[in-house]
Structure 1
Amino acid sequence: MDNKNSNNNRDESSIVEGRNAVFELLRSGRNIEKLYIAKDMNRDIVEKARAMHVQVSEIDKRKLEAMSEGGNAQGVIALCSPIEYSTVDDMIALAEERGEKPFIIICDGLNSPHNLGAIIRTAECAGAHGVVIPVHRSIGITPTVTRVSEGAVNHMLICKAVNIRNVLEDLKQKGVWTACADMDGDPYTKTDLNIPLALVVGGEDKGITPLIKKTCDMVLAIPQKGRLNSLNASVAAAVMMYEVVRQRG
């Protein structure tokens, strides 16, 4: 792994960067091929990796950062097995196993790795049972997404779907209500969200696509009191997710 180009043939989810993301990777049980770490890095990660018989290579920090996707690897990069993607049925089964109503987050055309990473992190903290991302016209599980999620991708069921509308229709057939956020919807705090729920988060530029909006059972609005007419996608998602948490108690 001499430079970024040497990783072109790797699955993007098999490169993990950042202290917390790598630490959660070590906790997750995924197979780790090798750990690259800056020579002045905190020894906790090194000791944990070696205790798990992971090969560790200590290199100059500037060289390590040059190898990272965004130049902000925080002194550590891991090469590991790709993420094992799940299905929506896996998410519903997890909800049943926990004795909870399904709560699934669906991303409709997100292109910012920072937004997707933040949404996955919030979904894990909010107890969601999974996150669905499109195969096409969307960011995947890149090293930046994993780092921004603080390693939550290692603890969250993630599904890659070819057709988001079909996913929504399938969930409706399984008794799960579908909702999306848009400005012309009903106030989100006045809507019963203590139900089996799939929450759709729109892309940064275009928001929810018209077909997806039409497919959803409910359209929910977050009040806007300032001059701007929209929230950041990950912020809007967090607001909605924690309203679900509040209502479920």
Structure 2
Amino acid sequence: MEGVSYLASFHAILESLRAGAKGSVLFISLDRNAGPRARQMVEEAIRAGIPVKRVPESFLDSLAEDHRGLVLEVPGASASVRTLEELCRDSKEKSLVLVLDHIEDPHNLGAILRSADAFGASAVLIPSRRAAPLTDAAARSSAGAIAWIPLIQVPNLRMAIERLKEAGYWIYATDMEGRPLYARPLEKKAVLVLGNEGKGVARLLKEAADETLAIPMHGHVESLNVSVSAAIFLYEYRRTYSG
């Protein structure tokens, strides 16, 4: 993933440090006495070979809001898979990839990453533009999963889906009129396209899909939050291929 992100929550920083966080830098305030949590972060950074720099509080303020005297600069995803080509080349017989079609809420992005890690997704793809940024809010919502799940930015989602097809993936797009999720098992190599909170999956991406899926609902509401839907789809895939 291009560019850098700044993490300020202790949990997100700790998980990123434990994941290796290659190329990262841990900034610590010169203007505060380091407490036990801060000292733990510094020890983890040193153990991981990550530089620790003491800087003025004002510098930390310019990087992240609501920091606690520590900010971790992360140059993109710290997970092992960094590009679409790596994902396609190294994909296994059983592999589930999420494609997020311009998800706008950082909290939804973080929650989806948390579920993706919990249920063993191979990667999450997001567009390079017009999507939720990888902010500290997303990191907090991911509960540290942001350090473990491969998060890949692509310039064109339609082209990325076509490349995944070439690599042997079956493409599913979520749609309220799709076939029920439980009607038959998902394919072993599957891509699930999840839509924008307000507009759903874009028409071009639905057309590129091999099939559309819906979660059967029996109450009064018409739809679920996208992060909840993602968790249900992920669980169903993992339940099917738990062996």
Q: TM-score range by the shorter chain?
A: 0.7 to 0.9
1 CA distance for matches of 2:3 and 2:85?
24
**RMSD of equivalent CA atoms:** 2.7
Quote the residue 2:233 is aligned against: 240
Quote the residue 2:43 is aligned against: 47
- Give the deviation of 1:75 after TM superposition: 5.7
SS in structure 2 of the partner of residue 92 of structure 1: helix
Matches within 5 A, 1:117-136: 117-136=110-129
Instruction: Verify the 8 A CA contact 1:102 1:129 in the aligned structure 2.
Output: yes
Query: Runs of 5+ in structure 2 lacking a partner?
Result: none
Quote the residue 1:197 is aligned against: 190
TM-score, with structure 1 as normaliser: 0.81
In the alignment of these two chains, the number of paired residues is: 233
2 CA distance for matches of 1:153 and 1:181?
23
Gap change, CA 1:103 and 1:124, over 3 Å in 2? same
2 CA distance for matches of 1:207 and 1:225?
20
1:25 aligns with 2:16: yes
1:114 aligns with 2:107: yes
Matches within 5 A, 1:1-249: 11-13=3-5, 15-29=6-20, 30-36=22-28, 39-42=34-37, 43-51=39-47, 52=49, 54-55=51-52, 57=54, 69-71=64-66, 73=67, 76-83=70-77, 86-96=82-92, 100-249=93-242
* Residues 85-118 of structure 1, C-alpha deviations (whole Å, 9 max, x = no match): 722231233433xxx3231110001011111111
Instruction: Verify the 8 A CA contact 1:101 1:195 in the aligned structure 2.
Output: yes
Gap change, CA 1:74 and 1:220, over 3 Å in 2? farther
Gap change, CA 1:157 and 1:80, over 3 Å in 2? closer
Instruction: Verify the 8 A CA contact 1:69 1:144 in the aligned structure 2.
Output: no
1 CA distance for matches of 2:88 and 2:167?
9
* Residues 143-176 of structure 1, C-alpha deviations (whole Å, 9 max, x = no match): 3222322332322222211211111122222221
Q: Percent identity?
A: 30
Give runs of ≥4 in structure 1 deviating > 6 Å: none
TM-score, with structure 2 as normaliser: 0.83
1 CA distance for matches of 2:147 and 2:125?
15
- Give the deviation of 1:123 after TM superposition: 1.1
SS in structure 2 of the partner of residue 123 of structure 1: helix
1 CA distance for matches of 2:196 and 2:68?
28
Instruction: Verify the 8 A CA contact 1:108 1:133 in the aligned structure 2.
Output: yes
* Residues 34-68 of structure 1, C-alpha deviations (whole Å, 9 max, x = no match): 332664452422332344463254987xx799556
Gap change, CA 1:75 and 1:235, over 3 Å in 2? farther
2 CA distance for matches of 1:69 and 1:57?
16
